Amino acid sequence: MATVAFIGLGNMGGPMAANLIKAGMTVTVFDLNPTAVAALTEQGALSAKTACGAAAAADVVITMLPAGKHVRSLYLGDDANKGLLDVVSKQALLIDCSTIDADSARLVGAKAAEKGIEFMDAPVSGGTAGAAAGTLTFICGGSDAAYQQAQIVLTVMGGNIFHAGAVGAGQIAKICNNMLLSVLMVGTSESLQLGLDNGLDPKVLSDIMKVSSGGNWTLEKYNPCPDVMENVPSSKDYQGGFMVDLMVKDLGLSQEAAVASNSSTPMGSLARSLYVNHARQGNGRRDFSSIFEQFSKKK
Q: Which of residues 110-149 bind a second copy (CB under 8 A)?
A: 125, 137, 139
Using CB under 8 A, which of the segments 33-41, 149-157, 197-205, 225-233 binds a second copy?
Answer: 197-205
The only residue of 19, 63, 254, 290 in contact with a second copy, by rule CB under 8 A: 254
Site for a second copy (CB under 8 A): which residue of 85, 117, 146, 192?
192
Name residues contacting a second copy, limited to 168-187 (CB under 8 A).
168-169, 172-173, 175-181, 183-184, 186-187
- DSSP conformation class of 23: T
- Phi and psi (nearest 5°) for 214? -90, 5
Q: Which lies closer to a second copy via its Cβ, residue 152 or residue 176?
A: 176
3-class SS at 141?
strand
* 90 belongs to the catalytic site: no
Near a second copy by CB under 8 A: residue from 208, 235, 240, 246: 208
* Alpha carbons 212 and 56: distance in angstroms, whole number: 54
Catalytic residue among 82, 174, 203, 299: 174
Say if CB 71 and CB 98 are below 8 A apart: yes
- Collect all residues with Cβ–Cβ distance below 8 Å to 58 and sequence separation of at least 6: 3, 4, 5, 28, 88, 89, 92
Do 182 and 268 meet the contact criterion of CB atoms below 8 Å apart? yes
91 binds a second copy (CB under 8 A): no
Burial 224-243 (b: 16+ CB within 10 A, else e): bbbebbeebbbbeebeebbb
Whole-number minimum distance, CB 265 to a second copy, in Å? 5
Q: Is 247 in the site for a second copy (CB under 8 A)?
A: no
Give min distance, CB of 68 to a second copy, in A. Answer: 12
Angle CA 28–34–39, to nearest 5: 65
66 scored as a contact of a second copy (CB under 8 A): no
CB of 26 to a second copy, least distance (A): 32
Write down the least CB distance from residue 166 to a second copy, Å.
Answer: 7
* Backbone φ, ψ for residue 190 (5° rounding): -70, -30
Task: Rule CB under 8 A: choose which of 5, 56, 62, 257 binds a second copy.
Answer: 257
Interaction between residue 71 and a second copy (CB under 8 A): no
Q: Just list the catalytic residues.
A: 174
